[in-house]
Amino acid sequence: MESAYEKLGAVLQHVPMQPPSFPVISNVTGDEVRTPVEIRRTLQDQVTGTVRWLDCMERLAALGCDFFVELGPGGCWQAYCGALSKASM
């Protein structure tokens, strides 16, 4: 994965980005990223890092998010969010 990590980092340097106008949460840190530099770094870190999905959901809830949309087949995340909200949010 190191090769993919390095290649993605090189490509991301050429992707134009602006600071986000809404909260963007990194699934590697569970924290908000505010600058293009932070966004590029955390996107690259996703290649080899651990996904902190629970931290992301808790951070979004702390920011006041109460509506989530799951895209794709199945409904596993929807079910998990329901259990999560009862347990810790």
* pLDDT-based confidence at residue 89 (cuts at 50, 70, 90): very low
- Provide the whole-model pTM: 0.75
Rg (C-alpha) for the chain, rounded Å, is 15
**CATH numbers and ranges of domains, the chain:** 2-87 (3.40.366.10)
DSSP string, the chain: -HHHHHHHHHHHTTS-----SS-EE-TTTSSEE-SHHHHHHHHHHTTTSPP-HHHHHHHHHHTT-------SSS-HHHHHHHHHHHHT-
Q: How many residues in the chain? A: 89
Q: Residue 4 and residue 12: Cα distance in Å, rounded?
A: 12
In the prediction, which pLDDT does 74 show?
72
Q: Residue 55 to residues 19, 30, 48: CA-CA distances in angstroms? A: 22, 5, 18
Q: Which residue has the higher pLDDT, 12 or 75?
A: 12
pLDDT of residue 65: 87
pLDDT digits (tens, 9 = 90+) for 26-73: 999 999 999 999 999 999 999 999 989 889 988 998 999 888 777 777
Read off the amino acid at residue 67: F
Q: What pLDDT was estimated at residue 84?
A: 64
